[in-house]
Copies of this chain bind each other. A is one copy, B any other.
Amino acid sequence: MVGDGYTIGEVLNQLKEEFEDITISKIRFLESEGLIYPDRTESGYRKFTDDDIDRLRFILTAQRDHYLPLKVIREQLERVDAGQPPAAGPPLPEPALGVDQQPGQRAAEIAAALEAAVSGGDGLLLEQQAAQVSLNLRDFCEATGLESGDVRALRDFGIIGERGDDPSGPFDGDDLLAARAARELLRLGLEPRHLRMYRQFVDREVALFEQLITPLLRQRNPEARRQATRQLDKVATLTGRMKRALLVRALRGYVHGA
């Protein structure tokens, strides 16, 4: 061996202390898979630099300690080679927001007003004016900033509109609030189909709440009806709080651990 750089056998011996299960054939395999590309001598022998060895160390650690498949490791290395450490999912192009349109001005105002009324408080505000809002498809798109394709998708997954509704509306204030939140979620990388579980869950929750308050509604007495509303508000607030605590605990472990 003429010049500088380690032979494959020397590399093997250096890494063997740290990684039990390294072999020559594994190193060769990693090269054949494009994870490393050591230089070669005239006669074809591999010539490893210290950087190559660090790279190998990274690969072996990722495998042994994080069980990452080579495909994933290769992607990480490629990103590092390209100069970027960021590894976020899809690029997520930001669609221009904040630029409100002329004609739908009205609808957007309504949306903002509703959001303001709802924010900061756990209550349900069942008696609110959200029910009075009624928008057709065009205005609804303008007020939410959604394409009509997205609106269709949200309807298909039960986020807006009623089962078997007319596909073109009308949409009420609750649809508006749901759709505005949904739009942000889509921008953060969620797919409409992911939102379906929220609808499913709400259906279950509604069934539960119904069980609780049907006795009250069965009496025609208007006072009982008002009490039912108060009861609903309370139980929704409490379940919301409880759910949030469960979520926080689960996520806290996830963000800080692992």
Report which A residues bind B (CB closer than 8 A): 17-18, 66-69, 72, 76, 85-89, 91, 93, 118-122, 124-126, 130-131, 159, 172, 174-175, 177-178, 181-182, 184-185, 188-190, 193-199, 201-206, 208-210, 212, 215-219, 221, 224-225, 228-229, 231-232, 234-236, 238-252, 254-255, 257-258
Interface SS majority for chain A = helix
Task: Report whether B197 and A248 are in contact in the complex, using a CB–CB cutoff of 8 Å.
Answer: no
**Known contacts A87-B215, A194-B208: A126-B246 contact under CB 8 Å:** no
Contacts of A199 in B (CB 8 A): 246
Q: In the bound complex, do residue A247 and residue B124 qualify as a contact, i.e. CB atoms below 8 Å apart?
A: yes
Most chain B CB atoms below 10 A, which of A72, A201, A204, A249: A249
Q: Of the candidates B18, B188, B190, B194, which one forms a contact with A197 in the assembled complex, judged by CB atoms under 8 Å apart?
A: B18
A sample of 23 cross-chain residue pairs with beta-carbon separation below 8 angstroms, ordered by A number, consists of A67-B67, A67-B72, A85-B224, A120-B120, A124-B247, A126-B252, A130-B252, A159-B242, A175-B249, A177-B244, A178-B245, A181-B241, A188-B235, A194-B208, A201-B243, A202-B243, A206-B247, A206-B254, A209-B251, A217-B258, A225-B255, A228-B255, A232-B251
